[in-house]
Amino acid sequence: MDASTQTSPSAVDAEVVTRLATLLVGFGANVQPDQIVEVRANLEQTALVRKIAELAYRRGARFVDALYVDPWVRRARALDAPEDTLEFAPQWERDRLRQLGEQRCARISIVPLVPFTALEGVDPVRAGKQPTLPESFQLIVDRTTNWTLGPGVERSWAQRVHPELGEEDAYARLWADVIHVCRLDGADPEAAWRERFAELTRIAGALNDARFDHLRYRGPGTDLTIGLLPTSIWTTGTETTVAGIEHAPNLPSEEIFTAPDPERTEGVVSSTRPLAMAGGALVTGLRVTFEGGRATRVDAERGAEALEHQLGRDEGARRLGEVALVDATSRVGELETTFYNTLLDENAAPHLALGGAYPQTVADEDRGRVNSSIVHVDFMVGGTDVEVTGVTRDGREVPILRGGAWQL
Amino acid sequence: MDASTQTSPSAVDAEVVTRLATLLVGFGANVQPDQIVEVRANLEQTALVRKIAELAYRRGARFVDALYVDPWVRRARALDAPEDTLEFAPQWERDRLRQLGEQRCARISIVPLVPFTALEGVDPVRAGKQPTLPESFQLIVDRTTNWTLGPGVERSWAQRVHPELGEEDAYARLWADVIHVCRLDGADPEAAWRERFAELTRIAGALNDARFDHLRYRGPGTDLTIGLLPTSIWTTGTETTVAGIEHAPNLPSEEIFTAPDPERTEGVVSSTRPLAMAGGALVTGLRVTFEGGRATRVDAERGAEALEHQLGRDEGARRLGEVALVDATSRVGELETTFYNTLLDENAAPHLALGGAYPQTVADEDRGRVNSSIVHVDFMVGGTDVEVTGVTRDGREVPILRGGAWQL
């Protein structure tokens, strides 16, 4: 199927597209007058991108740079480009990222950028080889841009999530899912998010007060301890730039996360949900073994090579940079659906990330100790069947999640 | 109408798209192994862009950067952006253009980038205000990139050209026109172009041998003399980069052109065909009066403001940078059709350009005398009813075009 034939939303969608665009521009990125706004999306998302552009200009944006990704050009590269060029990116792409930060721009990205169908049948190792630009991660670390990531509903994704439904029904159903998880169903989505973030901030406060030495995960196929740093700070889904602009980097966001000690992860963790790599490859049945903080072994039913390739990019790629907790009252968790999309799935269940940490999740004195890598791969640990326990420095065990419910 | 709903070509088109892409990649840009290839097109052109990417990668391209222009994001800017931002371009856009030259890249652009329908009803002065980047013209002057410009058939354009036909018929007819003018109908389009360019090179040689002092144009509403420089060189539609790569900057190209003396144009010229400005505005019934080389007066039935805005950008914008001759045996001229697209229309009839000259159209000693401007606006002078005469330094008159036929 050619994705480009289906970019026009039905009349039913137009109002929902406006609600989603309004949330992303006004609350997610919180676009300011005179800012440059970069919008990244694939060619399915023309209706959403155009609405974002219109709303951003109406807020006084100086320039909206709409960058469309064509998944089929990406496919042509994966199929036909010389092997040794697959990770090349032109200098101007790196310069742009640097300048986005220097010029304090706003950024809005719509995922998935590359839908599943675009890379079907491509050698997964070739498909997984793509440029990873350090400037991209640095932008997040530097907190120079007010940015957000939102979901873009498209038919190929909808059919993956709801294969039992026909094309139109699956599409309508995925829109309904997105309306639910992005809280677009109420009168004031922004107010709904402020309320949810306040609730998560309370739990994060309790976690910070407890100052755990390490966490313990127990569940089917999982027996893992993760050491925390002395100043690991539990953080929720709002962020403030160095210029003082509040924004919500992920919509939806139901997680409370921090940076672990990259030297102190031990044991085995099984991922209960499929992991969709940025390159389009799907990793299922993932099982990772850690020794001394390092992922020494990666097994998967499918897609292990694509993940291994990422983990081979630098030394930090094999260590944890993020540990995130999610309770089962999250709107994503409620749906009990696998979305094959990290933005949504990571909000259904506790997850971990291999690769670079967000330095703001520790205090200054530990900033040199967090994990560093150009890679950041989130994977889900499990659902309500995984127990998470905090262990204090003096050995006291404090239940954090049981049956998906906060115990704090 | 939303242009994005119609990007998928019918099965009938797929083979033609391949022929056009093959001509543009192989002959137009002449993509070399290990080159970066920039492809610019609007969202209607996904089928052509994807085929170009595939063919470029198969020739060993290191990277294909597909840059899609969304005309509706452009419309949102023209409608809603703050007035004083309309000519802003981000620094990274200028850096990219500079680097395309420094890194000796290939470039393929598909026009129109902004179809007519996208800017309908927008204040023409606002629509005409858009960034003009000096780096863009400099790339051509420096001859660092092997580049080409080709036509992208789309329904809104087809209906403008063939309003008497229904949507599908107009689309099919415009494809037939493009097949004809791009010489895609024969067994070997590239060989057909080599033959045509050889023919034009013979005429250009005769013009260069004659070494005219000035040209005289006579026709309905036109009485104009254009002084040439001592070393004005008549040139045809092939070019060679500083690295020695041959390419055809425009496909189709039926013109023989040179740089005039920017100080010696006198009289009045009427444009017999509509001029589609890069900003999307349409100028019709154009009449320009020159004194001492300078366009001192611009009249038009419609769209004069958009042109006046361009001409106000710098001093050189009001002087001629190019004079081009086209005979009536050109495949575009044969069709007797107005395409509302400079790439095609300029190949139907003799034309002039206000703004920057191509320095390679004079010898070194005159390079400082050609016109300089960030603007380059081509407009058609007329058809077979305009007589073009060359006048030698000693006053001898030599007919060049009569009834659209070469007299040399």
Name residues whose C-beta falls within 8 Å of residue B248's C-beta, 6 or more positions apart in sequence.
Answer: B27, B28, B30, B148, B193, B197, B237, B238, B239
pLDDT (average), residues B256-271: 96
Partners of residue A7 in chain B, C-beta under 8 Å:
4-5, 7
Residues A225 and A145 occupy one common structural domain: no
Place of tokens 């790599």: A277
* Amino acid identity at A184: L
Of B7, B50, B65, the CB nearest to A76: B50
Residues B181 and B256 occupy one common structural domain: no
> Do B50 and B23 contact (CB within 8 A), yes or no?
no
Residues B9 and B168: their CA atoms lie apart, in Å, by 11
Specify if A2 maps to a domain.
no
Taking alpha carbons only, the member of A316, A380, A324, A362 closest to residue A137 is A316
Instruction: Write down which residue in B169, B188, B207 finishes a domain.
Output: B188
pLDDT at A336 over 60: yes
The tens digit of pLDDT for each residue in B218-246 reads 999 999 999 999 999 999 999 999 999 99
Q: Do A92 and B76 touch (CB under 8 A)?
A: no
Angle at the Cα of B253 from the Cα atoms of B250 and B254, rounded to 5 degrees: 165
Of A54, A63, A72, the CB nearest to B90: A63
Q: What is the mean pLDDT of chain A?
A: 92
Number of structural domains, chain A? 2
Name residues whose C-beta falls within 8 Å of residue B69's C-beta, 6 or more positions apart in sequence.
Answer: B40, B41, B42, B43, B113, B114
Of B4, B53, B73, the CB nearest to A73: B53
The tens digit of pLDDT for each residue in B324-372 reads 999 988 999 899 888 988 899 889 889 999 999 987 899 989 989 999 9
Specify if B291 maps to a domain.
yes
Specify if A4 maps to a domain.
no
Q: Do B60 and A77 touch (CB under 8 A)?
A: no
pLDDT (average), residues A57-62: 97
The tens digit of pLDDT for each residue in B135-154 reads 998 999 899 999 999 999 99
A342 pLDDT band, cuts 50/70/90, is confident
Specify if B2 maps to a domain.
no
* β-bridge mates for residue B325, sequence order: B256
pLDDT (average), residues A208-237: 96
Place of tokens 């469309």: A68
The tens digit of pLDDT for each residue in B155-199 reads 999 999 999 999 999 999 999 999 999 999 999 999 999 999 999
At A204, phi and psi to the nearest 5?
-60, -40
Residues A129 and A252 occupy one common structural domain: no
Q: Which residue has the higher pLDDT, B16 or A3?
A: B16
Of B53, B62, B70, the CB nearest to A46: B70
The distance of A149 to chain B (nearest Cα, Å) reads 19
The tens digit of pLDDT for each residue in B85-100 reads 999 999 999 999 999 9
The distance of B77 to chain A (nearest Cα, Å) reads 7
Domain region containing B310: 190-406
Residues A239 and A175 occupy one common structural domain: no
* Chain B, nearest residue to A57 by Cα: B81
Q: Do B85 and A62 touch (CB under 8 A)?
A: yes
Specify if B4 maps to a domain.
no
Taking alpha carbons only, the member of B289, B278, B257 closest to residue B374 is B278
Residues B175 and B65 occupy one common structural domain: yes
Residues A370 and A359: their CA atoms lie apart, in Å, by 7
CATH number at residue B163: 3.40.1830.10
Residues A177 and A205 occupy one common structural domain: no
Residues B405 and B408: their CA atoms lie apart, in Å, by 9
> Do B307 and B371 contact (CB within 8 A), yes or no?
no
The tens digit of pLDDT for each residue in A122-163 reads 987 888 888 989 999 899 989 999 999 999 999 999 999 999
pLDDT at B2 over 70: no
* β-bridge mates for residue A223, sequence order: A218, A268
Specify if B1 maps to a domain.
no
pLDDT at B5 over 50: no
Task: Give the model's pLDDT for residue B397.
Answer: 97
Residues A136 and A99 occupy one common structural domain: yes
Residues A45 and A143 occupy one common structural domain: yes
Q: What would the 3-class secondary structure string for chain B be?
A: CCHHHHCCCCHHHHHHHHHHHHHHHHHHCCCCCCCEEEEEEEHHHHHHHHHHHHHHHHCCCCEEEEEEECHHHHHHHHHHCCHHHCCCCCHHHHHHHHHHHHCCCEEEEEECCCCHHHHCCCCHHHHHCCCCCHHHHHHHHHCCCEEEEEECCCHHHHHHHCCCCCHHHHHHHHHHHHHHHCCCCCCCHHHHHHHHHHHHHHHHHHHHHHCCCEEEEEECCEEEEEEECCCCCCECCCEECCCCCEECCECCCCCEEECEEEEEEEEEEECCCCEECCCCCEEECCEEEEECCEEEEEECCECHHHHHHHHCCCHHHHEEEEEEECCCCCHHHHHCCCCCCHHHHCCCCCEEEEECCCHHHCCHHHCCCCCCCCCEEEEECCCCCCEEEEECCCCCEEEEEECCEECC
Partners of residue A103 in chain B, C-beta under 8 Å:
90-91
The distance of A128 to chain B (nearest Cα, Å) reads 16
pLDDT (average), residues A236-256: 96
Task: Give the model's pLDDT for residue B320.
Answer: 97
Q: Do A61 and B76 touch (CB under 8 A)?
A: no
Q: Chain A residues with CB-CB distance to B under 8 A?
A: 2, 4-5, 7-8, 34, 36, 43, 46, 49-50, 53-54, 57-58, 60-66, 68, 70, 72-73, 76-77, 79-82, 85, 88-92, 95-96, 99, 103
Q: Do A96 and B99 touch (CB under 8 A)?
A: no
Residues B177 and B199 occupy one common structural domain: no
Helical (H) or strand (E) element with A13: helix A11-22
ipTM for the whole complex: 0.87
pLDDT at A8 over 50: no
Task: Give the model's pLDDT for residue B78.
Answer: 94
Q: Which of A42, A51, A52, A73 is the best residue to mutate to test the B interface, defined by the most B CB atoms within 10 Å of its own CB?
A: A73
Task: Give the model's pLDDT for residue B7.
Answer: 41
Q: Chain B residues with CB-CB distance to A under 8 A?
A: 2, 4-5, 7-8, 34, 36, 43, 46, 49-50, 53-54, 57-58, 60-66, 68, 70, 72-73, 76-77, 79-82, 85, 88-92, 95-96, 99, 103
Residues B201 and B333 occupy one common structural domain: yes
Instruction: Write down which residue in B173, B188, B203 finishes a domain.
Output: B188
A3 pLDDT band, cuts 50/70/90, is very low
pLDDT at B388 over 90: yes
Residues A162 and A197 occupy one common structural domain: no
Residues A247 and A348 occupy one common structural domain: yes
Task: Give the model's pLDDT for residue B58.
Answer: 97
Q: What is the mean pLDDT of chain B?
A: 92
pLDDT (average), residues A89-97: 97
Percent of chain B exceeding pLDDT 90 equals: 78
Specify if A169 maps to a domain.
yes
Specify if A358 maps to a domain.
yes
Task: Give the model's pLDDT for residue B42.
Answer: 96
Place of tokens 């190792």: A125
Instruction: Write down which residue in B161, B188, B215 finishes a domain.
Output: B188
